[in-house]
């Protein structure tokens, strides 16, 4: 097995390296994290421009907590220089959560395929489950990600 702390810098060698490294040596199904937040004005639909929904949590704030829980489930186990980036997210927002309520979101790592991580997410407030979803993230080398972003920016 390859040592993830000795990562090559050039793109071809990096792709070869990542294909031979097994993330399951540092991550495993069942890792989880829970985040909770007291819903305040900055989380409401009114704040996000959906004034007709007023004091209810906005879907973008709901999704941000789901992503945060997923990141928290694995980020402390990644070697220096590595991060995860979101690839896909599918959610169901089943019940309203109001200003002043506490929203708890638990994300559990369910599967690892190559550099891809698959999470199941459950959200609940003071009264019941209010949503759920699945989320896919990819493990990437942070420097390489920012180099690619800079290359894209320089094309403009």
Residue keyed to tokens 């790592």: 109
Q: Is 114 annotated as a binding residue?
A: no
Give the closest residue to 116 by CA, choosing from 97, 155, 88: 88
Q: Is 155 annotated as a binding residue?
A: no
Residues 6+ apart with CB under 8 A from 98: 39, 55, 56, 57
Q: Measured at the alpha carbon of residue 10, what is the angle toward residues 4 and 14, in degrees to the nearest 5?
A: 35
Which residues does the annotation place in the binding site for CoA? 86
Which residues does the annotation place in the binding site? 86, 137
Which residues does the annotation place in the binding site for substrate? 86, 137
């Amino acid at each position: 097995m390859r040592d993830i702390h000795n990562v090559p810098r050039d793109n071809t060698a990096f792709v070869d390296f990542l294909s031979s490294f097994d993330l399951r040596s540092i991550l495993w199904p069942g890792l989880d994290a829970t985040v909770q937040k007291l819903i305040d004005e900055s989380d409401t639909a009114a704040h996000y421009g959906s004034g007709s929904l007023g004091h209810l949590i906005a879907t973008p704030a709901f999704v941000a907590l789901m992503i945060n829980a997923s990141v928290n489930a694995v980020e402390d186990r990644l070697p220096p220089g590595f991060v995860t980036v979101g690839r896909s997210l599918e959610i169901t927002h089943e019940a309203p959560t109001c200003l002043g309520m506490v929203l708890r979101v638990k994300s559990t790592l369910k599967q690892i395929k190559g550099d891809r991580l698959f999470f199941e997410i459950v959200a609940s407030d003071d009264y019941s489950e209010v949503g759920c979803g699945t989320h896919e993230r990819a493990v990437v080398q942070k420097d390489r990600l920012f180099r690619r972003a800079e290359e894209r920016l320089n094309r403009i």
